[in-house]
Amino acid sequence: MEYILIIISAIFVNNIVLAKFLGVCPFLGVSTKISTALGMTGAVTFVMVLATIVTFLLQKYVLEPLGITFMQTITFILVIAALVQMVEIVLKKVSPSLYQALGIFLPLITTNCAVLGVAIMTAMNKDFNLMESTVFAFANALGFGLALILFSGMREHLDLIDVPEGMKGVPIALVLAGLLAMAFMGFAGIA
């Protein structure tokens, strides 16, 4: 039951993009087509889960025992950047087709604050064990992907309608993002 609450809360109630406002840059930048949103979702899911596992272990077995938790943010940033680079190198060697499919998405994840935010949230939550932290990261990645794919579909639909000249591009995208965030607020009483 605990895992179900974590999943529902992370995807719908406390969505990483629409409620926490983390990862807004790729949310606005990569959401012009559903195909790119799907690619970004896959890449973010993989890196977010892997980074959360590594940073959780670093927090519990290195930073806390040595009393250097003040180094948490810089350590997590370096770990995430190193993980993204390692994943990129391994994919290039093992699966060139997947590497080509992900393309620019992997380097973009290095600067995605949602990945760092989830890693810090799991480290700060003393009640989570490693499995709960992993489920939390996976659910947040799914929530990020859900919001991104829904937003991409809405933006693709904008190409089919007549938008006033002053609202084309980013202004109407921000209005849509606000409407999507309001729609997700309807889940606030669930978990």
pLDDT bracket for residue 189 (50, 70, 90): confident
Q: Does 161 score more than 90 pLDDT? A: no
Q: What is the pLDDT of residue 84?
A: 86
Q: Confidence class of residue 136 from pLDDT cuts 50, 70 and 90?
A: very high
Mean pLDDT of the region 18-46: 84
* Most confident option among 23-37, 66-80, 99-113, 153-167: 66-80
- Given pLDDT bands bounded at 50, 70 and 90, which one contains residue 116? very high
What pLDDT shows up at residue 191? 57
Most confidently modeled of 90-99, 103-112, 152-161, 181-190? 152-161
Kindly report the three-state secondary structure assignment for every residue of the chain.
Answer: CHHHHHHHHHHHHCCCCCCCCCCHHHHHHCCCCHHHHHHHHHHHHHHHHHHHHHHHHHHHHHHHHHCCHHHHHHHHHHHHHHHHHHHHHHHHHHCHHHHHHHCCHHHHHHCCHHHHHHHHHHHHCCCCCHHHHHHHHHHHHHHHHHHHHHHHHHHHHHCCCCCCHHHCCHHHHHHHHHHHHHHHHCCCCCC
pLDDT score for 32: 81
Q: Does residue 110 register a pLDDT over 80? A: no
